[in-house]
C-alpha cells in the first residue's frame, strides 16, 4: 500500500467514491480544511483504487485526527492500521508529539483499532453525536507519539 499526500483539488477528484453522500464529516468540508496550512491529509491506494484516507489538523506539537475512512471492500485487511502508522511517521517529521481523536461509542471496530495502535481513552463527551435513537457519546482518545515512536 502506498500513501499519498492530498491537496484540496485532488481530495474531491480522488475521494468521491470513498465518501458516501451522507458521510460526516462530508468530503466538501474535509477538502476545504486542506486550504488551511495546519491541515494534513493522506490517502492510500492499491494501484488505481483508493482504499482509505486520513485527515489531521495540528498546532504546535499537537495533532487532532479529524477523520479516518476505509473503503468497505478493504476493511479487515489492516489498511486502517497501516494508514494510521504511516501518517503518524509523517506527523512526527512535522514535530508532532501527541494525537487526539473522538470516536462514536458504538464504533467498536474503530475503538479497537485505535487501542491497538497506542491510543488511550482520556474522556467522554456526553450526547455528542446524533444517532438513530437520539444522541450518542463520543469517546476521547490520545496517543503520545514521543512515547510510542509512532502509532
* CATH number of the domain where residue 84 is located: 3.40.630.30
pLDDT digits (tens, 9 = 90+) for 5-34: 999 888 888 999 999 988 888 999 999 999
Q: Which residue among 19, 56, 58, 102 is the active-site one?
A: 102
Residue with cell 497501516: 82
Give the up-direction half-sphere exposure of residue 3: CA atoms within 13 A in the CB hemisphere: 18
Query: Does 114 qualify as catalytic in the annotation?
Result: yes
Which range marks the domain in which residue 31 is found?
A: 2-148
The pTM for the full model equals 0.92
Mean pLDDT, all residues of the chain: 93
Mapped onto helix, strand or coil, the DSSP state of residue 36 is coil
> Is the model's pLDDT at 93 over the cut of 80?
yes
Q: Is 64 noted as a catalytic residue in this protein?
A: no
pLDDT digits (tens, 9 = 90+) for 38-75: 999 999 998 889 999 999 999 999 999 999 999 999 99
- Candidate list 19, 43, 114, 136, residue with the active-site label: 114
In this structure, the chain runs to a length of 151
Strand partners, 44: 3, 52
What is the tally of structural domains in the chain?
1
How would you classify residue 122: left for phi > 0, otherwise alpha for psi between -120 and 50, otherwise beta? alpha
**The pLDDT value given to residue 149:** 57
Amino acid at each position: 500500500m502506498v500513501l499519498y499526500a492530498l491537496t484540496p483539488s485532488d481530495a474531491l477528484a480522488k475521494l468521491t467514491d470513498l465518501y458516501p453522500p451522507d458521510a460526516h464529516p462530508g468530503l466538501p468540508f474535509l477538502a476545504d480544511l486542506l486550504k488551511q496550512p495546519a491541515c494534513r491529509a493522506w490517502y492510500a491506494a492499491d494501484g488505481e483504487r483508493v482504499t482509505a484516507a486520513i485527515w489531521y489538523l495540528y498546532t504546535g506539537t499537537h495533532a487532532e485526527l479529524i477523520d479516518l475512512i476505509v473503503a468497505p471492500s478493504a476493511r479487515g485487511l489492516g489498511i486502517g492500521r497501516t494508514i494510521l502508522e504511516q501518517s503518524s511517521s509523517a506527523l512526527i517529521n512535522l514535530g508532532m508529539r501527541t494525537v487526539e481523536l473522538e470516536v462514536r461509542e458504538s464504533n467498536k471496530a474503530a475503538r479497537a483499532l485505535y487501542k491497538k495502535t497506542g491510543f488511550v481513552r482520556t474522556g467522554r463527551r456526553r450526547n455528542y453525536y446524533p444517532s438513530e435513537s437520539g444522541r450518542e457519546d463520543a469517546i476521547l482518545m490520545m496517543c503520545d507519539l514521543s512515547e510510542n515512536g509512532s502509532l
